[in-house]
Structure 1
Amino acid sequence: MGPSSCNKILSTTTAGLLLCVSFLAELELVLVHGGLVPALYVLGDSQADVGNNNHLELSPLRANFPRNGIDYPGQQATGRFSNGYNFVDFLAGSLGLASPPAYHSIRDTAGSSNSTYLNGVNFASGGAGVFDLTNKGQCFSFDHQIERDYSSVHSDLVRQLRQPQATSHLSKSIFVVAIGGNDIILRALPPSVELTVEVAAVISLPPQEFIHSLAQTMRRQLQRLHDLGMRRLFFVGAAPIGCVPLMRELSRLTTGNCHDGANDMSVRYNAAVRSLLADMSTQHQDFHYAFFDSYTALLRYIEEPEANGYAEVKAACCGLGDNNAMYRCGRVSTVCPNRTNHMFWDLVHPTETTSRKLTGIAFDGSPPLVSPINVRKLCG
């Protein structure tokens, strides 16, 4: 039905008027937007969390307190694990979109007559891993994000737009997945007496078996997202986890360098994800993706800090103890005076400056750092 059809109906019945108004309103919701894509749907862990964990009052994995957000507008601690914005904020800006709100901050107010979900939603939760058992009970797991949170949003969009329009909207939107680092950290950390039998069994697997199990779980999860409308995926690979301040501190008494075991797991994980994504694109001709090798990108900064504008690539900017790496960033932490020349904000998270740089590479970069296409081309 087009405008001319509407004109004919308008000339005959009041019911026709209502039908056309409804149709044109839906058409506008689907087609009219100010960005390169209609929306951004984000799933993952703390590198992408914009406040979902604020709603887990008993979880220690939160960042909604000072000194987090010290460089955010109004020095507001929003729940981002950063001194300011995170990579999702910069990605949204590059796409011409507002940064998607935290799902758990809007779910009680977004109803069937609300278009909030059409503009994108962020489901990411600090501490989440590919495995449900990673930080279980302290975060919204990746499966929870898919099966309960995003699935609910998907149903809401179908109710708002009806199936064909919802399918079209989602197929043009970009989905972001940034996860895996917490699983690697869980395996690399010294065993704890508090581990359950289930967790202990998984982290005791040989490296390649552990990665294979991660990949098989991820395959199921990404297939589920595809079933629920995902057609364009931006996947953020694991960083050199062994080089974050937390893992360096674990290696301090031995080599004082990056944790080799954790870095090896990051490399293996990224290779497994690349293979999985290539398989998915062969299996589903309508599926397109951009994989960001944040491991290689960040390692280049670490190996050539001054050339990339860094004065400090080992110590955290905010924390306590040796290299600010012995306690998480909080109210009593010391904070470096210049956050723009530090690579890491806290024990494991990048500064706003680092997030901005890495997002720029992912958006407009080229292989091997982002492949087979970059995010800008993924929009086309």
Structure 2
Amino acid sequence: MEWYRTNKVSHFGNYFTMARSPMVTLIIGVIIAFSLPSLSNAGSPAVFILGDSLLDVGTNNFIFQTIAKAKYPYYGIDFFNSTPSGRFSNGLNMADFIARVVFGESVTSPPAYLSLFFGGKYSEKRLARAIDFDRRTRWKRPTNGFNHVSLVGRENPAMGVNFASSGTALLDINSAVDQALPISQQIAHVLFVHGNLSATIGSWKTQVLFAKSPFFIAVGNNDVHFYALFRAKIDPDEYVDTLIQTYNDTLTSLYNLGVRKFGIVSVPYIGCSPLMRVTILGGNCSKTANDLAQQLNDKLERLLWDLRTRSKGMIYSFGNTYDIHHELYTYPERYNITNVRDACCGLGRFNAMTNCHPLATLCKNRDEYLYWDVSHPSQYAMQIIVEAVAFGGLRHARPINWSRLVRL
């Protein structure tokens, strides 16, 4: 497996995190400044990200009522300047590694959509401070794995927008548990950005931008979590069919806006997370969660195939994170991981009685833990997962891998 690396990666060091807070018109400036001159020959001029806490880079920091926030230590201990940016990780998360697949090294996820607003006002000075207007390297062919992070002094956000919100689910009622943005609301935000761009740079250029830019989506994890945690009485087949119908509506809405490149993240092997284990008397994995995740993934992959056959120009890559997550859990020694049961940061049984916070117990050897907190992989584990689906073969990404998707 070309993506596999036996040597442990180094920590992504403590660097300064750059503040970002102008309104949504920022994305127009970003795209005009960087993308439009080369839309005709760019592999991927921008990247757009939707989903849940695997991809959230701070959206929930701007939602007052939401429960799920990662804006306090020890979150981000291995991020730039040890800053708790809102990522449910000790450092970089899936969205950051996706950005590197698209643009190469030295970038992180595009800014969170809600960070583009600042008191409802737009400031060109604030835009200039938040965005480096020097032209960046447009495209680097992906390597067979990530290099050590470049020693830059600050975060370097990729071009595009990140709409993901921790707690997001396919069903609005499930998103309401954490008061997160449901996937339907994220689609509404994409529509808003599309309208802003169409009014500013024109409909044709916006269509080209959306057609050439990959849209990565990770959602469904919380729908599976809540079904297993709350011992839902609904028939699992009926429940999964409802989730698939919502997923179909989501992808169809994006396709109708001109999106053609879809990077889909399967529901991982989530039944063995510390969160699930702590709810079971014997501390075992949740078979209900793992079985439901597998069932949802199977139907999701069939949905993608069906959509492609009847949707002209649609390209997709189904990232099978379930299998690589299962491999990390089952054969941790292959990856120099020593603990797959406990959260690195937390309290109580499996360190899963609380989420990570300043008073929690913090492990020192973070790269040896599969889980950072009650349900999210460590930065090290997430890097392995993304490398597998980005650069691996058909076992982990179908019908093409993510690096191929972004080059098309």
Q: What TM bracket, shorter-length normalisation?
A: 0.7 to 0.9
Letter of the 1:140 partner, please give it: L
Counterpart in the other structure of 1:30? 36
Q: Shift in Å at residue 188 of structure 1?
A: 0.6
Counterpart in the other structure of 2:187? 146
Letter of the 1:282 partner, please give it: T
Distance 1:341 1:41 in 2: 31
Letter of the 2:254 partner, please give it: L
- Mapped pair 1:243 → 2:243: no
Higher helix proportion: 1
Partner SS, residue 173 of structure 2: coil
Distance 2:101 2:168 in 1: 26
Counterpart in the other structure of 1:87? 94
Distance 2:275 2:88 in 1: 15
Q: Shift in Å at residue 285 of structure 1?
A: 2.4
Partner SS, residue 140 of structure 1: coil
Q: Shift in Å at residue 110 of structure 1?
A: 8.6
1:36–1:96 CA contact under 8 A, matched in 2: no
- Matching residue within 212, 233, 237 for 1:204: 233
Counterpart in the other structure of 1:195? none
- Mapped pair 1:56 → 2:56: no
Distance verdict in 2 for CA 1:80–1:28, change over 3 Å: closer
Counterpart in the other structure of 2:49? 42
Q: Shift in Å at residue 229 of structure 1?
A: 1.8
1:328-348 CA deviation, whole Å, 9 max, x = no partner? 111110011011010000010
Please identify, of 55-64 and 166-175, the stretch whose mean Cα deviation from structure 2 is larger: 55-64
Distance 1:314 1:35 in 2: 43
- Matching residue within 289, 292, 313 for 1:286: 313
Structure 1 residue runs of 5 or longer lacking an equivalent are: 1-24, 192-202
Partner SS, residue 246 of structure 1: helix
Counterpart in the other structure of 1:161? 201
Root-mean-square deviation (CA, aligned residues, Å) is 2.4
2:43–2:212 CA contact under 8 A, matched in 1: no
Distance 2:192 2:51 in 1: 17
> Which one scores higher on RCO, CA 8 angstroms, separation ≥ 6?
2
- Matching residue within 110, 113, 124 for 1:103: 113
1:155-177 CA deviation, whole Å, 9 max, x = no partner? 11112221111111111101010
Distance 2:33 2:374 in 1: 46
Partner SS, residue 133 of structure 1: helix
Q: TM-score, normalised by structure 1?
A: 0.85
Q: Shift in Å at residue 28 of structure 1?
A: 6.9
Distance verdict in 2 for CA 1:240–1:28, change over 3 Å: closer
1:150-208 CA deviation, whole Å, 9 max, x = no partner? 111011111222111111111110101001010011111135xxxxxxxxxxx431111
Letter of the 2:243 partner, please give it: L
- Matching residue within 131, 134, 139 for 2:171: 131
Q: TM-score, normalised by structure 2?
A: 0.79
Distance 1:110 1:145 in 2: 21
Counterpart in the other structure of 2:213? 173
Higher Cα radius of gyration: 1
Distance verdict in 2 for CA 1:266–1:96, change over 3 Å: same
Distance verdict in 2 for CA 1:154–1:54, change over 3 Å: same
1:172–1:231 CA contact under 8 A, matched in 2: yes
Distance 2:340 2:388 in 1: 19
Partner SS, residue 121 of structure 1: strand
- Mapped pair 1:218 → 2:247: yes
Distance 1:110 1:212 in 2: 43
Counterpart in the other structure of 1:337? 364
Q: Shift in Å at residue 267 of structure 1?
A: 0.1
Q: Shift in Å at residue 111 of structure 1?
A: 6.4
Structure 2 residue runs of 5 or longer lacking an equivalent are: 1-30, 132-156
Distance 1:145 1:364 in 2: 28
Distance verdict in 2 for CA 1:29–1:305, change over 3 Å: closer
Distance 2:34 2:62 in 1: 33
Letter of the 1:360 partner, please give it: E
Distance verdict in 2 for CA 1:331–1:112, change over 3 Å: closer
Percent of pairs with identical residues: 34
Distance 1:26 1:315 in 2: 46
Q: Shift in Å at residue 26 of structure 1?
A: 6.2
Letter of the 2:97 partner, please give it: F
Distance 1:36 1:336 in 2: 40
Q: Shift in Å at residue 119 of structure 1?
A: 2.4
1:201-241 CA deviation, whole Å, 9 max, x = no partner? xx431111100010011111110011112100000000111
Partner SS, residue 376 of structure 1: helix
1:118–1:157 CA contact under 8 A, matched in 2: no
Distance 2:175 2:182 in 1: 8
